[in-house]
Amino acid sequence: MWQNYTDDEIIKKELDSIEDSRTYALKQIEKINKNKIILDIYLKDAQDFVPPTPEHQKFKEYMIEQINITIDYDANDSYYQKDLINCDKRIVELDPIELRKNHIDYLIEDIKKSKIKYQEEINRCNDSNNWVRDLVNSINNLERTKKIKSL
């Protein structure tokens, strides 16, 4: 199907894909920034916490450490910032011939992988069928042996 698309159709599909990626990245960045505001409030509260006893000091330190870890992982938008840069790069590098080739190559590779997975599933199914057949034969032989002994 991709080989039948015009260059303009391929460019339109790629631009739509880029716009979807950009929209998703911007929404994630917005969500991360909102979470960062909340986490900063929690961090300030933890830093302002006055331990009731010296034994509670480690608890305060632990709270601060855990919030900072959460900020480092959950309030870090660098992945999505890179994604936005990648979107810009994709726009600059729009080449319908290359896009068509890459997509067809991807589909060919996907078909190869699917054939392998299909064959693996057939093999698992055959193994299961053999297992059941062997069990049934074993039970049938056991029953015959019992009948012969009872004669």
Say if residues 67 and 43 touch (Cβ distance below 8 Å): yes
Model confidence pLDDT, tens digit, residues 68-107: 999 999 999 999 999 999 999 999 989 999 999 999 999 9
pTM value? 0.67
Model confidence pLDDT, tens digit, residues 98-109: 999 999 999 999
| 3-class DSSP state of 151 | coil
DSSP structural state of residue 53 = S
